[in-house]
């Protein structure tokens, strides 16, 4: 007899992203303010007797021999539980892929949380975050489940203070950017210790906008000038500030209200054919 659950996997944006250095293993040391937003993939997980993990996702092609990160997440939880079960995962993708929004990492976190609940394991947030880190540097943030200041390779997380009540418009210009390529192309001239960085806090929308920063922009913008065009169009259309999220290609604009974000999105889609998503931050 099988059990089934349906879970949401939200996108994230980076309100600031500082690259502080590079570890011997190739991972970059970061300091980031991260915020989840209400654009979500929908994950359906079905558990049954037997064995084998199957992931289906319309419109997402995997390279031969490559395993979806959601399948790897399921494998980790089953190994942790010492159980063998058949797991069927169906992903409805709403978050653009390779877009700087953490969609794959969020899907993996949703599977970790789903199986922990469905198998009644009570592993706890900390253990699930440790498992998540084996899958990717952004996965612990989605397990953590609140706005965070992330350091290390992104796995050391502290809650951010309450953020101003702004809304965002995510704009995706319609092409994917390889995160690995962006980091490989980054010329590090940075030696700041994380201790010297001001912690991200913002009591007003103007505060938040003044702190928007992304060290990866200079790499991605040089190769994809359209991203700068998206930023300029957002500002021309009333955004208080605009920034590329993660390694791109998504850019977000900061707006005072959801209505303003929606109207700007409609206009930008009509004029340029860009995909736009007005979103609210998740608490």
Active site residues: 12, 138
Rounded Cα gap, residues 136 and 224, in angstroms: 25
Are 76 and 38 contacting, i.e. CB atoms less than 8 angstroms apart?
no
The H or E element containing residue 75 is helix 69-81
* 98, burial (CB in 10 Å: exposed 0-12, middle 13-18, buried 19+): middle
Are 123 and 116 contacting, i.e. CB atoms less than 8 angstroms apart?
yes
The alpha carbon of residue 243 and the mean position of all alpha carbons in its chain are separated, in whole angstroms, by 15
Strand 167-172 and strand 86-92: pairing?
unpaired
């Amino acid at each position: 007899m099988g059990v089934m659950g349906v879970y949401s996997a939200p996108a994230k944006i980076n309100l600031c992203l500082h690259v502080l250095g590079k570890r011997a293993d190739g991972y970059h040391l970061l300091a980031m303010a991260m915020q989840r937003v209400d654009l979500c993939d929908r994950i359906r997980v079905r558990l049954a007797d037997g064995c084998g993990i199957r992931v289906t996702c319309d419109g997402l092609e995997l390279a031969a021999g490559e395993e979806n990160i959601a399948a790897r997440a399921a494998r980790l939880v089953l190994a942790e539980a010492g159980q063998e079960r058949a797991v069927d995962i169906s992903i409805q993708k709403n978050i653009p892929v390779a877009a700087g929004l953490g969609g794959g990492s969020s899907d993996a976190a949703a599977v970790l949380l789903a199986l922990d609940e469905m198998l009644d394991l009570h592993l706890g947030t900390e253990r699930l975050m440790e498992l998540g880190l084996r899958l990717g540097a952004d996965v612990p943030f989605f397990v953590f489940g609140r706005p965070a200041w992330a350091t290390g390779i992104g796995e050391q997380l502290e809650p951010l203070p309450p953020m101003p009540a702004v809304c965002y418009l995510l704009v995706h210009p319609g092409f994917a950017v390889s995160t690995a390529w962006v980091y490989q192309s980054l010329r590090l001239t940075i030696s700041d210790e994380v201790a010297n960085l001001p912690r991200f806090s913002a009591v007003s929308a103007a505060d938040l906008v003044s702190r928007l920063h992304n060290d990866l922009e200079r790499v991605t913008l040089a190769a994809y000038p359209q991203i700068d065009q998206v930023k300029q169009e957002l500002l021309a259309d009333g955004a208080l500030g605009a920034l590329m999220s993660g390694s791109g290609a998504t850019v977000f604009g900061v707006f005072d209200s959801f209505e303003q974000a929606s109207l700007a999105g409609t206009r930008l889609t009509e004029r340029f054919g860009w995909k736009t998503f007005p979103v609210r931050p998740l608490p």
